[in-house]
């Protein structure tokens, strides 16, 4: 090996370390398949307030009130494994928010200075990605069905939902996402964006949500994807605005901009109590978005490596 090649390889290693350090900042992830959980109520399910300490944030689930129903049950997950049952305990669509929130990550994704969760103040240029499988508990149509998930920290930032509510004009089981957008000049409101219709009752789907946070107004990006049981794309909606725009534009959430470190679920059915949906294989992560300069260094290093390879083959 010539000295020039040794020097170049040393430079490549140094650049790789710089890139790893840049992308490794604000990185954390969690995967939950529920098989490691005991069946019955989730950890923290009897404490409808967020009173956890840093030591147990990776294991506790927290409901927003006593009406929330969430438990681990055998035989309802993928391939008959353990799964998470989402429902409610006697609370219909009365306007009360009855969510159950997943364990929080040690890091948060969001904008610089955002009201944060466990991870403390976040830096600009972070991304939150979540994925989970879900199916309706019923194999036949249930009018009034509603199942949703939101990326969550101190408050919600995005929204995915599946619905069958004939009173609202649904003629099949539909999926979509809400964003906050300008509905007329200077007027901002919640807007529903369809993703797919005619979903199959009792069949598994996978939901993936990606949020890219960038400092400043009107520039965060939310991408929502829906896949079927064989992981083929059923539908998507890209480039949505995060709910923080509502905070900026019309004082939603008291005008506060929040970071994200968890996922929360909510379900309602045609009756005021019962199982609504099953969830399995939940995963979510916080990662840093590489700076353009870092990407440029990696690109230069790659080109140099190609050039060295060509010289050696010549």
At residue 312, does pLDDT exceed 50? no
Average pLDDT of the residues in 3-15: 44
Q: Which residue has the higher pLDDT, 17 or 204?
A: 204
At residue 307, does pLDDT exceed 60? no
Structure tokens of 269? 């059915």
Average pLDDT of the residues in 40-60: 60
At residue 54, does pLDDT exceed 50? no
At residue 273, does pLDDT exceed 80? no
Q: What are phi and psi of 184, to 5 degrees?
A: -155, 165
Helix (H), strand (E) at residue 78: none
pLDDT of residue 22: 43
pLDDT digits (tens, 9 = 90+) for 64-109: 665 567 889 999 999 889 999 988 765 555 445 568 889 888 888 8
Average pLDDT, the chain: 77
pLDDT of residue 18: 39
Structure tokens of 88? 């409610």
* Structural domain span for residue 226: 3-313
At residue 269, does pLDDT exceed 60? yes
pLDDT of residue 302: 43
Q: How many domains does the chain have?
A: 1
Ordered DSSP codes for 150-191:
EEESSSB---EEEEE-GGGT-SS-EEEEEEEEEEETTEEEEE
Q: Which residue has the higher pLDDT, 267 or 291?
A: 267
Average pLDDT of the residues in 45-73: 64
Q: For residue 262, how many other CB atoms are within 10 A of its CB?
A: 23
Q: Which residue has the higher pLDDT, 209 or 298?
A: 209
At residue 21, does pLDDT exceed 50? no
pLDDT of residue 305: 36
Range in 164-168, 180-184, 233-237 the model is least confident about = 180-184
Q: Which residues neighbour 276 within 8 Å (Cβ) at sequence distance 6 or greater?
A: 86, 87, 88, 136, 137, 145, 146, 147, 267, 268, 269
Q: Which residue has the higher pLDDT, 5 or 174?
A: 174
């Amino acid at each position: 090996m010539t000295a020039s090649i040794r020097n170049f390889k040393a430079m490549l290693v140094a650049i790789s370390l710089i890139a790893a350090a840049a992308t490794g900042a604000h990185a954390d992830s969690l995967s939950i398949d529920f098989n490691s959980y005991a069946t019955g109520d989730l950890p923290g399910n009897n404490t409808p307030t967020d009173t956890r300490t840093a030591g147990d944030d990776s294991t506790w689930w927290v409901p927003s009130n006593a009406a929330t129903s969430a438990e681990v049950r055998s035989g309802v997950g993928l391939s008959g494994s353990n799964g998470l049952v989402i429902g409610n305990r006697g609370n219909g669509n009365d306007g009360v928010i009855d969510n159950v929130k997943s364990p929080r990550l040690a890091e948060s994704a969001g904008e610089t200075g955002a009201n944060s969760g466990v991870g403390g103040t976040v830096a600009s240029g972070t991304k939150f990605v979540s994925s989970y499988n879900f199916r309706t508990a019923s194999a036949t149509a249930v009018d009034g069905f509603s199942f949703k998930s939101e990326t969550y920290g101190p408050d919600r930032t995005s929204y995915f939902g599946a619905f069958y509510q004939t009173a609202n004009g649904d003629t099949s089981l539909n999926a979509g996402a809400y964003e906050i957008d300008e509905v007329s000049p200077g007027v901002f409101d919640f807007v529903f964006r369809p993703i797919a219709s005619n979903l199959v009752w009792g069949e598994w789907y996978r939901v993936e949500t990606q949020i890219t946070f960038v400092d400043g107004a009107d520039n965060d990006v939310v991408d929502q994807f829906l896949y079927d049981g064989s992981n083929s794309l059923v539908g998507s909606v890209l480039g949505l605005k995060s709910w923080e725009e509502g905070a900026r534009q019309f004082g939603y959430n008291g005008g506060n901009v929040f970071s994200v470190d968890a996922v929360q679920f909510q379900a309602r059915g045609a009756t005021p109590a019962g199982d609504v949906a099953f969830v399995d294989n939940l995963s979510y992560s916080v990662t840093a978005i590489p700076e353009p300069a870092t990407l440029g260094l990696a690109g230069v290093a790659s080109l140099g490596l190609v050039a060295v390879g060509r010289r050696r083959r010549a």
